[in-house]
Structure 1
Amino acid sequence: MRYLGMIKEENKRMHAQVENVLRISKLDKNELNISKERLDLHELVEDAITHVELIVEDRKGYVKTHLKAEQTSVLANDTHFTNVIVNVLDNAIKYSDDAPKIDVYTENVGNNIIVKIADQGNGMSKAVAKRVFEKFYREHTGNVHNVKGHGLGLAYVKKIVEDHQGHISVESEKGKGSTFIIKMPLIS
């Protein structure tokens, strides 16, 4: 039943991803109004992790949480923001040749909550890190088919984070993993 439940959830998410591709084009034209409500960012993080935990378990890896932020209320869209975190986690898994080792941290800085998603995967060069949020950008590797995708995931992530008045960046080093940093304004 657990597997069936997960298949059903992933199926819904795949359908949502198709919608997201269409939404990106609307976002580009500033036609998208995403409804937002008060949400607990820690709950969104925990929820996102449940989407990927089976794949991570299967590959003998882990996702550990270090949720230190004391204030966690944000104005966000449940589906879109969960997708943002799932997409970043998905990439951490995809770009880890060995067992994916992922740590998720939160902290409060000023009137913001910072979410850091750190992996110990393949990492990327400074040049790639600069372009990784561009639409359709894919790193050119010798074996282009080793990781499937259209280079839309992180473009969508950036658009959604910015639509939430947030900011996303990445710190990475080739061969040493990547850390994606999402900064979101808190609501009182």
Structure 2
Amino acid sequence: MLEACAKGDRHALQRLYAQEGSRMLGVVIRIVGDRGIAEDIIHDAFVSIWNKAHTFDAQRGSGKTWIFSVTRHLALNHVRTRHREVTVDDDTAERLDAERSQEAATDTQDHFDWLGHGELDRCLGQLAPERRNCLFHAYVDGFSHQEIAARLDRPLGTVKAWIKRSLAALRECLS
């Protein structure tokens, strides 16, 4: 479909939206926390996908990975920009951090449950859910290792080791 988009086939873009739009929206909502903003980002993502489809290289990865990468970058850029604009007092920041930590401590959902049946999905399925979630928080949510450690209430070294070993396992599985 990306090759067809690169050639100007609008129907291919419509099919791509029908096939992946709802999953992309779910990822973006998770990143930005607001459905309205997420819908705007999805619109921008599909405009970008349409305009940059010619740059997609199937030798470097799957089309699904490429479109989710485009979408994720737009969402993370929005969050980074928004975080620069918001300032709160120390008490409010501490309260928000405590709320996030509380939510994370009770969060047992496997955040990769929306994946399909591709090669990456199969390899991710071989990782323990807690380790998959570390990758999810790092590469989808855009959290630092320190933020993940705080969110999961795990030592920083543990989180770093899980991410490093999980990436190594994915590389091995995909090669």
Q: Which has the higher contact order (CA 8 A, sep 6+)?
A: 1
Superposition TM-score tier, normalisation by shorter sequence: 0.3 to 0.5
TM-score (norm 1): 0.32
| Higher Cα radius of gyration | 2
For normalisation by structure 2, the TM-score amounts to 0.34
